[in-house]
Structure 1
Amino acid sequence: MKSISAALAAHLAGEVTTLATCWRLERTDGWARGFTDHDRNLVIDGQTYVAATGFLPSAIKSGADLSVDNLDVDGFLDDDALKAEDLSAGLFDGAKIDIFLVNWADLSQGRVLLRRGSLGEVKRADNRFSAEIRGIANRLQQVAGKLYSRLCRTNLGSVECKVMLAPLTDELVISAVSSGDTFTVPTARPTGFYTFGVCSFLTGANAGAATEVLQHNGQSIQLFTPMPRPIAVGDRVHLIAGCDKTPETCHARFGNILNFRGEPHIPGNDMVFSYPVRG
């Protein structure tokens, strides 16, 4: 049951309403903004909900059978609020979102919460975006449990892995740029040390963005995908060692085979063909 003030409930029961839909978006880095489908900005609880984004939510569908909520949000990209580069950089991945109704003629009546969830898949076309809103019921579709595999299931430096990342992490300054996904840093680490690791940009146009390293060759670093904004000489990056999740690498590079979370010795499907066929 939704919580609603008596004044707002009376307004909703009236023949004529002055309602506006608002949504508040909060990223994992603390960045928060408010938007509304009203024709002017609204100030609610000290935060301004801007009307310049062309925000348009789809119909909200809820059921009592624990089915996943169905809701998309469309809008225009705005350089001051929603930047295409930030979406591409993954800064909005997993952002929290609240969607609620207010009486724009009397904001003191409070709000009625329509949906609370997180941002899912985001699509862009020209200057527009379409975002999927995933409600709490979406977690019921997530795979629970673990599957056995020859490769390690956990990430380097996780609680299960137990490898300390501090000695395997470097903060370096980019000395040359080859393309949108390749640059050079003055590192003495051996070739392959950062392969499959993580590169985070600390300064420059891509500050706050992070992506995986595809290849580390000498002092050259190639990322899996080009960065959304140009990489420049002088940008500071945070590079963490990578792991290909094989038992050989776990033992030889990290000396951590006792914490290896894989089953490399369990026979696979190829074992079926290794036995002679009896007539």
Structure 2
Amino acid sequence: MKTISSAMREHLDGTTTQLCTCWKISRTDGEVFYLTDNSTDIVFDGDTYNAKDTYDRTAIANDIELTPDNVEMFAVLNSGLFSRSDLENGKFDYAAVEVFVVNYTDPDGFGPIKLKAGWLGQIKPLSKGTGFTTDLLGLADKLSASIETILSPECRADLGDSKCKVAILIDEIERETDYTVGQSVRTRTRTLGVRGVHELLVNGDLSLSIGDSYSLGQGPEGWNSVGGLRVVRISEGYKGLPDYVPAYMESTFNSNQTSQTRDLAVEGITTDDLDGGECWLYFSCFFCPRADGAEPMGARVEILDEEDDVVATVIDETNIAANLAPTEWDGSYFFRVAVVYKGIPSGARKVRTAIIQGDTGPATVDGEWAFAETKIIGLTEDLSSELDFDGKYLLCTQGGTTASSSPDYDQPVGTEITDGSAKFMIMSAWRVPAIVLQGTDRANFRAIVIGDTRGRSNTTWYNSGIVEWTEGANKGRATEMKDVDYEGGENDVYDIELWLPQSEIPVIGDFLMLQAGCDQRRETCRDKFNNVINFRGEPDLPGDDAIESYYAQQ
């Protein structure tokens, strides 16, 4: 039975009615949306219900069955109230919904007729991209959920939840506060955040229009050619590379190169940032050498001062394939090399990048390049950044009260620090920051991890882990990683493939958090997380086959 006011009852008994439906949608992040199917806005209980052409609803049915209410909402994304990225990023998941009817001539005077209350179900984008549909799950839906525990060989807990207890999301330490053994906290040991990633090279992919070519001694726009070098466009999709159009570099004698020098100030990087020691340089190239080594291909990246004198050399290799053990791309003839130079020295003002072609004799040689690019990663002061925690957290090893002022926690992992009467061990965090260096599509991108080197010795460290976007077009979305390939060396650069496409293609400078992966096996829980005491699986429990085979033997 519904409770309605006497004024509303009298209105319903009349020959005509002046009713409209209102929806109040409250997201879990606290943002609230107000909708109405009336032709004009409705003000009810101090809130304005938007009258844009935002939704149509099906009939609302009430019954005593424990099944989801047969209400479906259709919202037009172009209304301005909902964006596709918010919907695809899960911002409306589990949003609370209230549906009621009011008299649009005097909503507060007549009062509401409450129709339904519940939560949004699965949000399904329409194929044409014009809107989405979702079911409204009623209050009784929770009563129909299965709550029994099903035994399984794998752990039933999620990494970091209340059953697993691995420290993933950790609060900051507080002064003059009591802590007990086993509690996890974290503290800021630096005040640096991401300023941005600057892509320095123009025409870094070396691509030209089909049929175009340069004469000897010329090169693509922005590049200076030395010693008879030309770049010729080859057919699209060459050697199975649909996203890259390689260039054909031809030289008439040894040690030819094409290069360009860029002024960092022109790129918007201030001298204070450069001289602060918190700028990194990232160089990547994609090339195809001959298998017999007859056409060595090299690269040289140098950091220059104001007078063009070299202050640091990032890479200087005349034969990348022979000396740097590059990564083969997807079984093709192309190889990829990535180099990260951490801490550009004071006085740096320019970057010079060269790709080099040479051979062992005077004959004409050639090689193919998909791209060569250089980027600057600038780190500057930003107290809100995850980088401040330097990929570490603190584990309380002796209960007590922290001091009024903080001790120096900027120490290596494994160091025990006394803080007041408490003691804390510095641990490596399971959730670390990273920056996108290149996006391929909505499910594939390359990123550099900041402050964590465990993936170097364990190439599956992040497999089955979680990516959470904290900046960029995908901000707020968390997705499981399908495959993570480590580029090798000491660069901490990874190629990441996600199980689900994101709403937008990741771009250079997007900020994210990478969470170590857990495959739910007991061995992983014991050896990787040292958490087997909280393992929630039964790998030693005999299955149906074992039970049936026993009776068969009898």
TM-score, normalised relative to structure 1: 0.92
Given the alignment of the two structures, is residue 170 of structure 1 paired with residue 435 of structure 2, yes or no?
no
SS in 2 for 1:129: strand
Moved more, 68-77 or 126-135: 68-77
Quote the sequence identity (%).
35
Given the alignment of the two structures, is residue 53 of structure 1 paired with residue 53 of structure 2, yes or no?
yes
Letter in 2 for 1:243: C
| CA deviation after TM superposition for structure 1 residue 270, in Å | 3.7
Output aligned runs, 1:102-117, within 5 Å.
Answer: 102-109=102-109, 110-117=111-118
Moved more, 42-51 or 139-148: 42-51
Given the alignment of the two structures, is residue 210 of structure 1 paired with residue 478 of structure 2, yes or no?
yes
SS in 2 for 1:221: strand
Query: Where does residue 257 of structure 1 map in the other structure?
Result: 532
Question: Which structure 1 residue ranges, 5 or more long, are not aligned?
Answer: none
Output aligned runs, 1:1-279, within 5 Å.
Answer: 1-78=1-78, 80-109=80-109, 110-125=111-126, 126=128, 127-165=130-168, 166=170, 167-187=429-449, 188-190=453-455, 191-218=459-486, 219-271=494-546
Give yes or no for contact 1:150–1:264 (8 Å, CA) kept in 2. Answer: yes
> Would the alpha carbon gap of residues 232 and 13 (structure 1) be closer, same or farther in structure 2, given more than 3 Å must change?
same
Q: In 2, distance between residues paired with 1:128 and 1:164?
A: 39
> Would the alpha carbon gap of residues 186 and 120 (structure 1) be closer, same or farther in structure 2, given more than 3 Å must change?
same
> Would the alpha carbon gap of residues 40 and 168 (structure 1) be closer, same or farther in structure 2, given more than 3 Å must change?
same
Q: In 1, distance between residues paired with 2:132 and 2:165?
A: 40
Q: In 1, distance between residues paired with 2:159 and 2:45?
A: 42
TM-score, normalised relative to structure 2: 0.48
Q: In 2, distance between residues paired with 1:67 and 1:202?
A: 37
> Would the alpha carbon gap of residues 265 and 102 (structure 1) be closer, same or farther in structure 2, given more than 3 Å must change?
same
**1:98-136: CA deviation from partner (whole Å, max 9, x where unpaired):** 111011011222212110000012233221322200001
| CA deviation after TM superposition for structure 1 residue 54, in Å | 4.0
Moved more, 66-75 or 181-190: 66-75
Q: In 2, distance between residues paired with 1:76 and 1:156?
A: 37
Q: In 1, distance between residues paired with 2:537 and 2:67?
A: 34
Q: In 2, distance between residues paired with 1:134 and 1:122?
A: 12
Q: In 1, distance between residues paired with 2:66 and 2:124?
A: 26
Letter in 1 for 2:131: R
SS in 2 for 1:258: helix
| CA deviation after TM superposition for structure 1 residue 15, in Å | 1.6
Q: In 2, distance between residues paired with 1:67 and 1:255?
A: 42
| CA deviation after TM superposition for structure 1 residue 47, in Å | 2.6
SS in 1 for 2:92: coil
Letter in 2 for 1:189: R
Q: In 1, distance between residues paired with 2:67 and 2:120?
A: 18
SS in 2 for 1:211: strand
Give yes or no for contact 2:20–2:104 (8 Å, CA) kept in 1. Answer: yes
SS in 1 for 2:7: helix
Letter in 2 for 1:99: V
> Would the alpha carbon gap of residues 11 and 174 (structure 1) be closer, same or farther in structure 2, given more than 3 Å must change?
same
Q: In 2, distance between residues paired with 1:132 and 1:8?
A: 29
Q: In 2, distance between residues paired with 1:183 and 1:264?
A: 36
Moved more, 109-118 or 189-198: 189-198
Q: In 1, distance between residues paired with 2:14 and 2:508?
A: 62
**1:172-224: CA deviation from partner (whole Å, max 9, x where unpaired):** 22122232112222223312222222211111111111211112221222211
Letter in 1 for 2:92: F
RMSD: 2.1
> Would the alpha carbon gap of residues 208 and 79 (structure 1) be closer, same or farther in structure 2, given more than 3 Å must change?
farther
**1:49-81: CA deviation from partner (whole Å, max 9, x where unpaired):** 222234221111112354542211223222521
How many residue pairs end up in the alignment? 279
Higher CA-based Rg: 2
Letter in 1 for 2:496: I
Question: Which structure 2 residue ranges, 5 or more long, are not aligned?
Answer: 171-428, 487-493
